[in-house]
């Protein structure tokens, strides 16, 4: 299922549905969006004059339009952009603009914020990625997030 490292950016071009109720709930006409990988988690439910700007986790989104047919508005227009990060690339989780969504894998933990919110510099020891990079590949090791000679 799905293409590896491929995701969708979904944006509203025009959006005019029936407004939410007095408590902000989209009770009557709405558009709901799910990522196929996490169908139990609604990425967003939109009504009124919503601005949609979502990025999926996979290459498949579910978009559901619901109406009670009591009031008529203009409707909505959405655009979906498919982006593919290469095998050696890193996907910026916070990015919503396609050109900066993927960065080269060698830019992770290099001391420069290459992702919009700098998440490429949040380095950990999870999965063997050290908190700091070794100065050289020979004779250097990391212990407790600090270089040791």
Residue extents of the structural domains in the chain: 6-84, 94-148
pLDDT tens over the chain, length 149 residues: 444 567 888 999 999 999 988 888 898 999 999 988 888 888 999 999 999 988 887 788 999 999 998 888 999 999 998 877 766 677 776 544 434 467 777 788 888 887 777 777 877 554 544 445 444 444 455 555 555 55
Residue showing tokens 């916070």: 94
Q: Which residues contact 68 (CB under 8 A, 6 or more apart)?
A: 28, 29
pTM score, whole prediction: 0.59
The pLDDT value given to residue 106 = 79
The pLDDT value given to residue 76 = 93
Q: Domain spanning 6-84: which superfamily?
A: Spermadhesin, CUB domain (2.60.120.290)
Cα–Cα distance for residue pair 115/66, rounded to 1 Å: 35
Beta bridge partners of 6: 84
């Amino acid at each position: 299922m799905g293409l590896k490292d491929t995701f969708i950016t979904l944006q509203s071009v025009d959006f005019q549905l029936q407004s939410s109720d007095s408590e902000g709930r989209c009770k009557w006409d709405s558009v709901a969006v799910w990522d196929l990988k996490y169908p139990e988690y609604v990425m967003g439910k939109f009504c009124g004059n919503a601005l949609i700007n979502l990025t999926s986790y996979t290459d498949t989104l579910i978009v559901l339009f619901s109406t009670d047919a009591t009031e008529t508005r203009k409707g909505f227009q959405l655009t979906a952009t498919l982006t593919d990060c290469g095998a050696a690339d890193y996907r910026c989780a916070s990015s919503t603009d396609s050109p900066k969504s993927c960065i080269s894998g060698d830019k992770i933990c290099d001391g420069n914020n290459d992702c919009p919110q700098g998440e490429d510099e949040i380095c950990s020891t999870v999965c063997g990625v050290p908190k700091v990079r070794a100065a050289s590949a020979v004779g250097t090791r990391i212990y407790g997030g600090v270089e040791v000679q």
